[in-house]
């Protein structure tokens, strides 16, 4: 069943509790993209089947799975030719630990999911956000607690050049999401200097082999064409991996 915004309005015509009970009685699982994270928690609380968070204002876990798969493919053993695939022959615990990811952008749901995920896997994370756009303290606390367990480094700064130092991967996301259009002029001003460019990576001291990730759709102020369409960019490989990781989640839960 596909229930788009024109088919169902969560919490409008009936309570989330009622919707959760009705929909879960008809299906084997629910995958929901919502606004408030509390909506996904309510759905999960009252549903009789597994609920997958496909996006909320707090987390975007399915995107991070695609990012991790892409990093595993890029930094693991490489195939001899384009017709071969070898990533499944190596466990991610051999390819991911020790990598450093630099986030340059907003303290949003993508960053939150990176913070609660990467330290568990031994992936270092350096975060650059403008003043006033920091990730929430609750999420940062979770990340710091996990980082202690795995001896992973997490750092925060307001200087993009500082964040990208020694980075294997540089990641950003949209600065103006849906519902934030009225703030666009202010946000673009606040994010001045945060565009991911080759010069930012070079001046900041990113590793020579650094790669670029973005969950798409992308706007030019976030990353230059020079980077976005370069061999460093693995955004389209990352986009394809949304399919395979979502299928894996469905397979694991259902």
| Catalytic machinery residues | 215
| Site of tokens 């630099």 | 102
DSSP 8-state symbol, 195: -
Going from the C-alpha of 121 to that of each of 95, 143, 151, 241, the distances in angstroms are 10, 11, 10, 19
Instruction: Lay out the sheet containing 211-214: strands in order across.
Output: 154-157, 124-128, 100-104, 169-172, 211-214
DSSP string, 117-132: HGGGGT-EEEEE--TT
DSSP, collapsed to helix, strand or coil, labels residue 137 as: helix
């Amino acid at each position: 069943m596909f229930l788009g915004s024109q088919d169902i309005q969560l919490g409008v015509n009936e309570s989330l509790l009622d919707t959760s009970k009705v929909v879960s009685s008809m299906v084997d699982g629910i995958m929901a993209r919502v606004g408030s994270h509390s909506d996904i928690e309510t759905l999960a609380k009252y549903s009789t089947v597994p609920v997958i968070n496909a996006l909320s204002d707090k987390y975007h876990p399915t995107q991070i799975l695609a990012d991790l798969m892409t990093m595993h493919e890029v930094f693991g053993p490489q195939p001899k030719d384009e017709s071969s695939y070898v990533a499944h022959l190596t466990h991610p615990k051999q390819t991911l630990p020790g990598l450093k990811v630099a986030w340059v952008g907003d303290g949003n749901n993508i960053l939150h999911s990176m913070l609660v995920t990467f330290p568990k896997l031994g992936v270092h994370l350096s975060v650059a956000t403008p003043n006033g756009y920091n990730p929430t303290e609750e999420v940062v606390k979770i990340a710091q607690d996990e980082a202690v367990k795995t001896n992973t480094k997490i750092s925060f700064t307001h200087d993009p050049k500082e964040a990208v130092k020694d980075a294997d991967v540089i990641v950003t996301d949209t600065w103006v999401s849906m519902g934030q259009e009225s703030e666009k002029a202010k946000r673009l001003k606040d994010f001045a200097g945060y565009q991911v460019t080759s010069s930012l990576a070079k001046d900041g001291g990113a590793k020579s082999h650094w790669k670029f990730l973005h969950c798409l759709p992308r706007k030019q102020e976030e990353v230059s064409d020079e980077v976005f369409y370069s061999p460093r960019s693995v955004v389209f490989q990352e986009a394809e991996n949304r399919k395979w990781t979502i299928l894996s989640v469905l397979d694991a839960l259902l």
